[in-house]
A and B are shown apart, each in its own frame.
Chain A
Amino acid sequence: MTRASRIRRPVIQATSPEQPDTHAMLAHAVEEAARLLKADGAMVYLVEDDRLRFAVDAGIRNEEARQLIRGLSLPVGVGLFGHAVATGEVVVSQDYRHDKQFQHSAVADRIVAVANMRSMAAAPLIAEGEVIGALGAYSSQANDFDEAEIALLRALADHAAATVANQRLIDRLARSQEELAHRVEAQRTLAEMAAQLTSLRTPSEVLTQTLKAAVRLLRGHGGQIGMVITHPDGSMRWGDGHSLVHGELAPFTKYDHTTVDDGVSGRALHEGRVSWTDDYLIDASFAHDRPSDEIASGLGIRAVIAAPLIGASGVIGVIGVYAEEPSAFDADARELLGLLADQAAIVLANARLDEQLGEESAALARQTASQRRLLQINERLLSTLDPASVLELIADGLKTVVWYDYLGVYRVDPSEGLLRPVLARDRNAEAVLGFPIPRGQGVTWWSVEHREPVLLNEALSDPRVIRIPGTPDEPEAIIIVPLISGDEVSGAMNIARRGGVEVAFSDADFELVQLFAGQAAVAITNARLYEQLRQLYAEVEESERRYRHLVDNSPDIVWSVDDEGNFNFFSDSLEARTGWKAQDLLGRHFTTFAGEGTLPSAVSAWARLQSEPNREQRVRLDLPLPDGRLAQTEVAMTGTVVDGRFAGAHGSVRDISERERLEGDLRGQAAELAASQERAHLARELHDSVTQALFSMGLTLRTLELLLDVDESAARTKLGEARELQQDALAEMRTLLFELRPASLESDGLVQALRTHATAVQRRTGLVIVVDAEPIDRLPLTSEEALYRIGQEALHNVVKHANAENATIRILREGDRIRVSITDDGAGFEPEQVPRGHLGLIGMRQRVDLVGGDLRVESRTGGGTIIEASVPIDEVESAE
């Protein structure tokens, strides 16, 4: 094999962070060294962190040697190359394995053995006074390198060192340019985030955007960002957050609120600044948590860096980035993450403020929704008497503002000491409806008895909670509100969510449920009132039905008028009793229905009602009928008072025509009785006065007769007494006779005597008698008495037989005759059928005949009667 043939293209790729250009230049250097020194091969080691690491070679073909040399790293001073680096001198060994001038390494010796190396020379690479490595060549021959070759190696080494130094400068420049670009990008990213983040509306978006930017800018493989809550005890616990693994974002929620006290994140939080590790799993400078370590191991996490998010009130979160290589994060990365975290904290604070505003406006919206629902419920409460539909509406309305997966409404049943379910919604509804809660059991009873609403977010842990048969024993959050209206607890409403603390009800929820429960209380109370009202309505209906029956079937007409006196109601009996239809009379004034003669009574009764509405007034009114007749009626009425104000009147009208007739008959009988009493009076007067006087006179005369023979003077005395008795008797007789004759006829004349008599009859009987007379001259007493007696008899007949309401006596002169007529509107009669001697008609005719007059009788059944007597004035005068 020629030397040239021993020169090979470098094939071993170092894991050095050196740039490919440096590597290529070194490969070229070892090839040149092997060729120029006619060696079997050449190698370069570079110094890195006080150790020599193999960089590149030419000529090693043995596979074991290649494997070993690839990972070779020797301390400075060990081995031939290490000795060259340590001394800064060219070192030559003519037989490597037996050379004692340097410290041997087992690995290096093994490589030398298997690669068949005997002679070896190494020259230090010195750049800017610093040994940066060593360049050497080897040969399988002992003593193969001469002085000239050694000098050449030194020259090659110097050249390579310069080249490496230059390349390193170039690399550093390039790297710093790249770094600059990276910084520019980071700045730009930060600026973009600043702009972008301010437009983000939720903390969740801020977190994810920050995490993505951090992983990209730090060239990490993944990371996580999360909110942190500082508890009152000072411990910091996880809140919501996001992880980014293998390019995938995933939210996480640590409901158990585990403390953040382990790992790099924990250290960053506790120190309040950026913290990092080059290799997570083997770093013992922070506390390890087994689950976290398992995750790190599973994901191949090596380098980790974390920064706290610090807001105005302290730590609010933490961001961490990991890389799958160790030592991935340098000072620049640390600075960058710190900047990102600060920026995120600010934006996050803004976002939270924003979200708070959003929450407030959401709360406002919820409030508005509640108000609207409550208003709807209120309207329904007012518009419906059906409590079930209102409770359904309350349940629907509540669900739109406070989500629940169970709702129940209970009613207190005091008679049985139970809480009776009246409504159950959704989860377990059937089991709830089938289980009235016995008194004293469960939180619902507790709430009812203490009149206190209850909020339990961990209901399972409350000893008062009972389990309703048929429902699973599971964690839930519940709210129970007693339904209180007035002083009374009428029931309870409860709602529940299944789950742990994450379904907890907020204070706002609690308040809203109480608001809706208030409405439910009203609905429950209404249900009871509704039932009472329904019964009341039934009673009222019944009594109204009975009352209407009475009104409709009573002989009375029931009516009412408004405050101006216009009719606004008539009972149905109106038409049957009077022939008037209600629609003909409604709206008309009451004075339209008082006959002329009784109108003043009606008006004065109306006036009395207005001043004393509560006092019943009774008046007799003539009610005009549709056929023009007047019905005699008695009207009873009282005022209608509304709000203490006179608002009209109501009352009844009773047709008293029949009663009047009965009363008329009674008056007739009374008159007869009076007449007979008058006769009895006269008889008694006769007995008491005249009869006794005459009897005594008889006795006295008999005494006188006996005394005549015995005692004459005594007899004479008795004679005187007898004469006195006779005078007494005469005087008394004259008085009685005078009483039997109308004295007024003699003194006042015919017209006045008839007026007086008519007045007396009207007063005694109620018959309305109009005396219509023109002034006439006095007639002879016989004529006047004849006409007087005829008038008297005719009125007597009217009262006794005609059943009339009105009678008229007319007295007038017609040419040479005085005419007296008595007219009535009574029953009338058929003159031909009147039996002889009845009605005093014959007596009348005899009387009028005696004075040369005529008598005319005009009557028919139902058409009233006219009796007319006329006497000639001449005849009268001639009779005088």
Chain B
Amino acid sequence: MTFSPRPAAPSIPRLVIVDADRRVQQSLADLLGVSGEVDVVGRAGDVRAALKEVERRHPDVVLVDPRLPDLEAGLALIRGLGTAWPGLRIVTTGWNDTDGHSVGDPTTLYVSRTGSPEEFVSAIVACCAR
């Protein structure tokens, strides 16, 4: 039997995960689904797939690890999303090194991966709620 998330309440934010590593996509989607605080509506491993998912799923939030696999690709995606969907919330994530902060976009929020999984999920949920 495979895991199937329960139907999300209409109020909870819809989220698309963008990460080059499929294992991270999977584990993060599982954990966020289990938490019940966000509805993970799509996942993407590169810029093209990310744009397709956002257009198709109309998420409220996009969680992006900018290394896609290069930082430049992630930054281009972030700028593109902000331009195409001005109301879309973008949350970046990384390891507190140069990666996430270098985005330098005041509209984007950053969630570090250095903490525990619980802290990580809480931070994401908090970002989605703002």
In angstroms, how far is the closest chain A Cβ from the Cβ of B100? 13
Q: Is the CB of A687 within 8 A of B95?
A: yes
A688 CA to B68 CA, complexed, in Å: 10
Q: Could you say which of A688, A691, A697, A703 contacts B30, with CB atoms under 8 Å apart?
A: A703
A576 CA to B16 CA, complexed, in Å: 73
Task: Closest B residue to A713 by CB, please name it.
Answer: B1
Q: Is the CB of A699 within 8 A of B1?
A: no
Q: Is the CB of B31 within 8 A of A703?
A: yes
Contact with A along B20-38 (1 / 0, CB 8 A): 1101101110110011000
A725 CA to B27 CA, complexed, in Å: 10
Q: Is the CB of B30 within 8 A of A718?
A: yes
Q: Is the CB of B24 within 8 A of A696?
A: yes
Interface membership of A19, Cβ < 8 A: no
Interfacial chain B residues near A698, Cβ < 8 Å: 116-117
CB within 8 Å for A693 and B95 given contacts A706-B35, A707-B34? no
Task: Closest B residue to A710 by CB, please name it.
Answer: B34
In angstroms, how far is the closest chain B Cβ from the Cβ of A77? 175
Contact with B along A689-704 (1 / 0, CB 8 A): 0011101111111110
CB within 8 Å for A699 and B117 given contacts A706-B34, A707-B34? yes
Contact with A along B34-54 (1 / 0, CB 8 A): 110000000000000000000
In angstroms, how far is the closest chain B Cβ from the Cβ of A11? 173
A696 CA to B117 CA, complexed, in Å: 10
Interfacial chain A residues near B3, Cβ < 8 Å: 707, 711, 714, 717-718
Q: Could you say which of B28, B69, B118 contacts A688, with CB atoms under 8 Å apart?
A: B69
In angstroms, how far is the closest chain B Cβ from the Cβ of A680? 11
Interface membership of B113, Cβ < 8 A: yes
Chain A interface extent, by class:
20 to 34
Interface membership of B107, Cβ < 8 A: no
Number of interface residues of B (CB under 8 A): 23
Q: Is the CB of A702 within 8 A of B117?
A: yes
Interface membership of B2, Cβ < 8 A: yes
Q: Is the CB of A692 within 8 A of B34?
A: no
Q: Is the CB of A699 within 8 A of B21?
A: no
Task: Closest B residue to A706 by CB, please name it.
Answer: B34
Most B CB contacts (10 A, CB to CB) among A696, A707, A728 go to: A696
Q: Is the CB of B23 within 8 A of A725?
A: yes
Q: Is the CB of B23 within 8 A of A696?
A: yes
Q: Is the CB of B30 within 8 A of A699?
A: yes
Q: Is the CB of B1 within 8 A of A695?
A: no
Interfacial chain A residues near B27, Cβ < 8 Å: 695-697, 699-700, 703, 721, 725
Interfacial chain A residues near B24, Cβ < 8 Å: 692, 695-696, 699
A692 CA to B26 CA, complexed, in Å: 12
A713 CA to B23 CA, complexed, in Å: 20
Task: Closest A residue to B120 by CB, please name it.
Answer: A699
Most B CB contacts (10 A, CB to CB) among A697, A702, A713, A728 go to: A702
In angstroms, how far is the closest chain B Cβ from the Cβ of A369? 99
Interfacial chain A residues near B121, Cβ < 8 Å: 702
Q: Could you say which of B21, B35, B95, B118 contacts A696, with CB atoms under 8 Å apart?
A: B21
A699 CA to B21 CA, complexed, in Å: 13
Interfacial chain A residues near B118, Cβ < 8 Å: 702
Q: Is the CB of A699 within 8 A of B95?
A: no
In angstroms, how far is the closest chain A Cβ from the Cβ of B95? 7
A694-749 contacts to B, CB under 8 A, are 695-703, 706-707, 710-711, 713-714, 717-718, 721, 725, 728
Interfacial chain B residues near A710, Cβ < 8 Å: 34
A710 CA to B20 CA, complexed, in Å: 30
CB within 8 Å for A714 and B1 given contacts A698-B117, A702-B118, A707-B34? yes
Q: Is the CB of B21 within 8 A of A688?
A: yes
Q: Is the CB of B1 within 8 A of A702?
A: no
Task: Closest B residue to A707 by CB, please name it.
Answer: B34
Q: Could you say which of B2, B28, B67, B69 contacts A699, with CB atoms under 8 Å apart?
A: B28
Interfacial chain A residues near B113, Cβ < 8 Å: 695
A339-364 contacts to B, CB under 8 A, are none
In angstroms, how far is the closest chain B Cβ from the Cβ of A273? 138
In angstroms, how far is the closest chain B Cβ from the Cβ of A466? 95
Contact with B along A318-343 (1 / 0, CB 8 A): 00000000000000000000000000
Q: Is the CB of B23 within 8 A of A693?
A: yes
Q: Could you say which of B2, B21, B120 contacts A692, with CB atoms under 8 Å apart?
A: B21
Interfacial chain A residues near B1, Cβ < 8 Å: 713-714, 717
Most B CB contacts (10 A, CB to CB) among A692, A717, A721 go to: A692
Interfacial chain B residues near A721, Cβ < 8 Å: 26-27
In angstroms, how far is the closest chain A Cβ from the Cβ of B22? 9
Q: Is the CB of A691 within 8 A of B95?
A: yes
A699 CA to B95 CA, complexed, in Å: 15
Interfacial chain B residues near A707, Cβ < 8 Å: 3, 34
A688 CA to B69 CA, complexed, in Å: 9
Task: Closest A residue to B1 by CB, please name it.
Answer: A713
A693 CA to B24 CA, complexed, in Å: 8
Contact with A along B92-130 (1 / 0, CB 8 A): 000100000000000000000100111011000000000
Interfacial chain A residues near B95, Cβ < 8 Å: 687, 691
A693 CA to B23 CA, complexed, in Å: 7
Task: Closest A residue to B19 by CB, please name it.
Answer: A692
A774 CA to B24 CA, complexed, in Å: 54
In angstroms, how far is the closest chain B Cβ from the Cβ of A489? 81
A725 CA to B113 CA, complexed, in Å: 17
In angstroms, how far is the closest chain A Cβ from the Cβ of B128? 17
A357 CA to B66 CA, complexed, in Å: 121
Most A CB contacts (10 A, CB to CB) among B31, B35, B120, B121 go to: B31
A725 CA to B28 CA, complexed, in Å: 14
Q: Is the CB of A703 within 8 A of B21?
A: no
A453-509 contacts to B, CB under 8 A, are none
In angstroms, how far is the closest chain B Cβ from the Cβ of A815? 54
In angstroms, how far is the closest chain A Cβ from the Cβ of B52? 23
Interfacial chain B residues near A696, Cβ < 8 Å: 21, 23-24, 26-28
A718 CA to B31 CA, complexed, in Å: 11
Interfacial chain B residues near A725, Cβ < 8 Å: 23, 27
Interfacial chain A residues near B28, Cβ < 8 Å: 696, 699
In angstroms, how far is the closest chain B Cβ from the Cβ of A718? 7
Q: Is the CB of A692 within 8 A of B30?
A: no
Q: List 9 A-B contacts (CB under 8 A).
A: A688-B21, A695-B24, A699-B31, A702-B116, A703-B30, A706-B31, A710-B34, A713-B1, A714-B1
Name 16 extra pairs, CB < 8 A, besides A695-B27, A695-B113.
Answer: A688-B69, A691-B95, A692-B23, A695-B24, A696-B21, A699-B27, A699-B28, A699-B117, A702-B31, A703-B27, A706-B31, A710-B34, A714-B1, A718-B30, A725-B23, A728-B23
Closest 7 CB pairs of A and B: A702-B117, A699-B27, A696-B23, A696-B27, A692-B21, A700-B27, A703-B31
Task: Give me the interface of A with B, judged by CB distance under 8 Å.
Answer: 687-688, 691-693, 695-703, 706-707, 710-711, 713-714, 717-718, 721, 725, 728
